[in-house]
Amino acid sequence: MSLLSETGKYFLLMERVFVLPDRQRMFFRQFPKELEKLGLQSLPIVIIISVFIGAIMTMQTKLNSSNPLLPTYTTGLVTRDTLLLEFSSTIMCLILAGKVGSNIASEIGTMRITEQIDALEIMGVNSANYLILPKIVAFVVMMPFLVIFSMALGLIGGYGVGLFTNIITTGDYLSGIQYAFVPFYVFYSVVKSLFFAFIITSVASYYGYYAYGGALDVGKASTNAVVNASILVLFFNILITSLMLN
């Protein structure tokens, strides 16, 4: 019953979010700020994690596949497909659910408990639309770039292993990442990430918007936002994968 009522509340909030903004210029003023805050400020974590995971994946694949019958391009191929299919979209989104989700939930939650949202409502502003819509649109717009960037950096991380260690040669690695490339995987990954971006921002906004009490409750709302957004990302990952790859 609680799940049902929470889901209903979420959709009612979304109904208020997805309407034309009262003042479009206010939306377009907020939108670049959100692009910067949610997208560009996520770049450092995307860079660090992608490069290191790409490198680790290459090392692990090579070190755990010592069978001489396996072709030399296997490591590059496995690294590339793992990055393209799951890491750069799903795992990266789970990480971003932590960063962006908690950021949104705590920001909106703080505005709620300090009566800033009430102030907007009293002014006659559709606070859900004004606060949440730019965040959702900005993150959905930024996500494909972050995903493609993560893919490229992951591959560079793997290349670094060939360059700086004796585990794999750069030649083997490069031939592996070019072998049997399926461009659809990139499309699939980007499509998934768009859904995930929506889930992360909307779920986090929901928990922030309905936060009540004090600082402790904002913390709880933030935790709930991250946990539930992550679960939904994983659930939709299975759903979208079975729809797109079957």
Partner 1 sequence: MIEVKNVDKSFDGNQVLKNVSAVFETGKTNMIIGQSGSGKTVLMKSIIGLHRIEKGRIEYDGRNLPDMQMKEIRILRREVGMLFQGSALFDSLSVLENVMYPLEMFSLTTYEEMKERAYFCLKQVNLEEKAFGLAPSEISGGMQKRVAIARAIALQPKYLFCDEPNSGLDPKTSLIIDHLISEITHIFGITTIINSHDMNSVMEIGENIIFIENGEKAWQGNNKDIFHVDNEALNGFVFASELYKQVKKANQ
Q: What is the DSSP string of 156-180?
A: HHHHHHHHHSSSS-HHHHHHHHHTT
Cβ count within 10 A of residue 156: 15
How many amino acids of this chain bind partner 1 (CB under 8 A)?
Answer: 17
By CB under 8 A, tell whether 63 contacts partner 1.
Answer: no
H or E element at residue 70: none
Shortest gap between Cβ of 71 and partner 1 (angstroms)? 55
**The tokens of 112 are what?**
């709620």
Which of 13, 56, 125, 148 is the binder for partner 1 (CB under 8 A)?
Answer: 125
Q: Which stretch binds partner 1 (CB under 8 A): 64-72, 118-126, 180-188, 231-239?
A: 118-126
Q: What is the DSSP string of 43-56?
A: HHHHHHHHHHHHHH
Task: Give 13: exposed, middle or buried? Use CB within 10 Å, 0-12, 13-18, 19+.
Answer: middle
C-alpha span between 206 and 135 (Å, rounded) = 12
**Nearer to partner 1 by C-beta: 78 or 111?**
111
C-alpha span between 137 and 31 (Å, rounded) = 8
Q: Which stretch binds partner 1 (CB under 8 A): 86-94, 110-118, 145-153, 227-235?
A: 110-118
Is the sign of the CA dihedral 176, 178, 180, 186 positive or negative? positive
**Nearer to partner 1 by C-beta: 134 or 162?**
134
Shortest gap between Cβ of 135 and partner 1 (angstroms)? 13
In 79-194, beta strands by DSSP E: none
Which of 177, 173, 176 is closest to 160 using CA atoms? 173
Which of 60, 74, 126, 175 is the binder for partner 1 (CB under 8 A)?
Answer: 126
Which of 48, 63, 70, 122 is the binder for partner 1 (CB under 8 A)?
Answer: 122
Residue list 127-156, contact with partner 1 (CB under 8 A): none
Which of 20, 63, 121, 182 is the binder for partner 1 (CB under 8 A)?
Answer: 121
**Nearer to partner 1 by C-beta: 54 or 134?**
134
C-alpha span between 229 and 238 (Å, rounded) = 14
**Nearer to partner 1 by C-beta: 26 or 43?**
26
**Nearer to partner 1 by C-beta: 25 or 68?**
25
By CB under 8 A, tell whether 119 contacts partner 1.
Answer: yes
Residue list 10-49, contact with partner 1 (CB under 8 A): 22-23, 25-26
Binding residues for partner 1, rule: CB under 8 A, are 22-23, 25-26, 110-111, 114-116, 118-119, 121-126
